Amino acid sequence: MNWVDQKFFYIKNILKKSKYKKKILDLGCRNQILKKFIPDNFLYTGVDIIQNDNSDNILMDLNKKILFDDNSYDYVFSLDIMEHLDDPIHFLKEIYRICNEKIFIVLPNIAYYEKRISFLLKGSLGNKYHFSGNKFDDRHKWFTNYFFICNFFRKNSTNFIIHNIPKTRKRLKYLMYFERFLSKFMPNIFSWSFLIIINKN
């Protein structure tokens, strides 16, 4: 089995509780992995700045105005996208505008203990933090950890909850459950990423 980020399993468990058909907008969908985890009766739309193989993305630059009408989608997803954008506050306002019910946002935790060890030993936080000088590189523009994320949404949102997402483990599944437990007490160290759910209602 290929490595699959735990965020998709968390989202799947949340969505399967819905009793009604929903219109879903997946912003920054890449190859539309999310589509595999949503109920069959949901209506899915994927948006990205590029067209991937075997997908039908609507092409759009998410640094600009999102070209959908107000309240046009029930659920809007932004999974590991905001840290790439020039103006996350503008982007969040656009999501609020086009969303009717719930917003799902995932942001990575750069303070995760494995990244701390990597930086200590190798001087690297991963391939999203490099210095090439190329304007269009796939890189993060913001340093996101639990405390920064909480402060951002307290200032720019209301009625939100944060779920701690552990790192997917293959053979070392026991480690994933151990990290999940520890993340309840020390999310800034033991959470791989964070799922923020905003309820507009």
Per-residue pLDDT of the chain (201 residues; tens, 9 = 90+): 477 899 999 999 999 988 889 999 999 998 999 999 999 999 999 999 988 776 789 999 999 999 999 999 999 999 999 999 999 999 999 999 999 999 999 999 999 999 999 999 999 998 899 888 888 788 899 999 999 999 999 999 989 999 999 999 888 888 999 999 999 999 999 999 999 999 987
125 in any annotated domain: yes
74 in any annotated domain: yes
32 in any annotated domain: yes
48 strand-pairing partners: 59
CATH number reported for the structural domain that contains residue 131 in this entry: 3.40.50.150
150 in any annotated domain: yes
Distances (CA, A) of 30 to 7, 94, 162: 15, 20, 24
24 in any annotated domain: yes
Task: Report the C-alpha gap between 14 and 161 in whole angstroms.
Answer: 13
60 in any annotated domain: yes
CA angle 33, 37, 40 (to 5 degrees): 115
Q: Show the domain range for 36.
A: 6-199
Q: What is the model's pLDDT at position 94?
A: 97
Q: What is the model's pLDDT at position 138?
A: 85
Task: Report the C-alpha gap between 168 and 177 in whole angstroms.
Answer: 10
Query: Whole-model pTM?
Result: 0.94
3 strand-pairing partners: none
Distances (CA, A) of 189 to 36, 75, 123, 170, 193: 30, 30, 18, 20, 10
Task: Report the C-alpha gap between 187 and 164 in whole angstroms.
Answer: 7
* Residues near 130 by beta carbon (within 8 Å), at least 6 away in sequence: 137, 139
Task: Report the C-alpha gap between 111 and 191 in whole angstroms.
Answer: 9
| Number of structural domains in the chain | 1
1 in any annotated domain: no
